[in-house]
């Protein structure tokens, strides 16, 4: 593709000297796991979010699983979440032995519908995973009280929302615990896998810190926390993330600007466009809804423009779990049939955005009416 949906080479190139220096610092030190880079990044990221602590782990899915385990979720429990976020939360929930219970999303934001949450809670509910999708924060100020009034912990899935804020509070600072992914394509991405757990409950964060290393607590090789595993953010990735963190807000602002350009350039062609990005939306993805997705993708490909679908198969319709029953999630299912992600990364130029807009306008003329 002449213009991919994301371009990590362009993203990382300006930081090349700093990244090489950071990696070299780790090599010179000879300390590769749970060392000073990891500790420093945990402190810096917690300070950035305004949370009491942060615990680096191996990847974002591990972050969700360890957060659930720390909150006491296990076999026989249910976890309420959404089904339109790529199976990541569902995978973590199932790994604990718990069962996901899905709530439908709002048609305008594709985020969990707060009006449906209370009805999904049962005596078996062990936690609620609130997913901030496409960079946009869910209605945490409404969701968290509903859960806490019933004594249920809230775990934020912040894998696509690094730096988003609502009412001055960062995504990741609202829930009892919160999970971040640092997969390379994220708004704050490593040069490989990485994850982190943070949140507002210091006791639960202490449990995560034990669980990420076999359940060891005060003594090496002595397991006092059940459910522990090996999931640690390595020193090289922590050093890389320390280099990138100071640039995050500027990158997010550029992403918002790109989405705003798309909204202006496509406002009259009859597509559903993402909401105007504010502080609570860091525009991780620019997800639109054309009338005929396949037609549009074909035209974009003809023009050398990449696109993707995030995500084509809702969790409750995945073939591996077909025997578990399929709840009615009409908004989720309808959206999965039509959504399309356009290129959106901080290094995109205005001319490149204009090229995508022009191709989309050409594509819209080839669409069949609904």
pLDDT in tens, 281-300: 999 999 999 999 999 999 99
Inform me whether the pLDDT recorded for 370 exceeds 60. Answer: no
pLDDT tens readout for residues 88-134: 999 999 999 999 999 999 999 999 999 999 999 999 999 999 999 99
Residue-wise pLDDT tens digits, 312-369: 999 999 999 988 878 999 999 999 999 999 999 999 999 999 999 999 999 999 997 6
**Residue pair 23/200 in contact by the 8 Å Cβ criterion:** no
What are the domain boundaries of the chain? Answer: 8-246, 247-366
Q: Is the pTM of this model over 0.85?
A: yes
Check if the beta carbon of residue 85 is closer than 8 Å to that of residue 131.
yes
CATH T-level assignment (fold) for domain 8-246: 3.40.640
| CATH number 3.40.50.1100 given to 247-366 | no
- The per-residue pLDDT for range 142-199, each reduced to its tens digit, is 999 999 999 999 999 999 999 999 999 999 999 999 999 999 999 999 999 999 999 9
């Amino acid at each position: 593709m002449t213009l991919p949906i994301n371009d990590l080479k362009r993203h990382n190139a300006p930081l090349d000297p700093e990244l090489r220096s950071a990696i070299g610092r780790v090599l010179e030190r000879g300390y590769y796991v749970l060392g000073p880079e990891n500790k420093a990044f945990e402190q810096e990221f917690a300070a950035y979010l305004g949370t009491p602590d942060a615990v680096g782990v191996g990847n974002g899915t591990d972050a969700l699983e360890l957060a659930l385990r720390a909150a006491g979720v296990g076999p026989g429990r249910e976890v309420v979440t959404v089904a339109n976020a790529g199976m990541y939360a569902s995978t973590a929930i199932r790994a604990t032995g718990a069962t996901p219970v899905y709530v439908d999303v709002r048609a305008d934001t594709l985020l969990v519908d707060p009006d449906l949450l209370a009805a999904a809670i049962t005596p078996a509910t062990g936690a609620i995973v609130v997913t901030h999708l496409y960079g946009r924060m869910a209605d945490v100020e409404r969701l968290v009280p509903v859960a806490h009034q019933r004594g249920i912990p809230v775990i934020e899935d912040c894998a696509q929302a690094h730096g988003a804020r609502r009412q001055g509070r960062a995504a990741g600072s609202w829930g009892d615990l919160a999970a971040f992914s640092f997969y390379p394509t994220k708004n704050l991405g490593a040069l490989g896998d990485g994850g982190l757990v943070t949140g507002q409950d210091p006791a639960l964060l202490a449990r995560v810190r034990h669980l990420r290393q076999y359940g060891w607590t005060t003594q090496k090789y002595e397991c006092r926390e059940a459910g522990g595993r090996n999931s640690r953010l390595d020193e090289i990735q922590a050093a890389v993330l320390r280099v990138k963190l100071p640039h995050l807000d500027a990158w997010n602002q550029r992403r918002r600007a790109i989405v705003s350009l798309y909204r202006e350039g496509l406002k009259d062609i009859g597509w559903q466009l993402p909401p105007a990005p504010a502080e609570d939306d860091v525009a991780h993805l620019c997800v639109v809804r054309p009338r005929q997705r396949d037609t549009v993708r074909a035209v974009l490909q003809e023009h050398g423009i990449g696109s993707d679908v995030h995500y084509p198969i809702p969790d409750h319709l995945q073939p591996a779990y077909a025997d578990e029953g399929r709840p009615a999630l009409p908004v989720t299912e309808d959206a999965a049939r039509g959504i399309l992600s356009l290129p959106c990364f901080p290094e995109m130029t205005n001319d490149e955005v204009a090229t995508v807009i022009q191709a989309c306008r050409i594509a819209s003329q080839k669409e069949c009416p609904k």
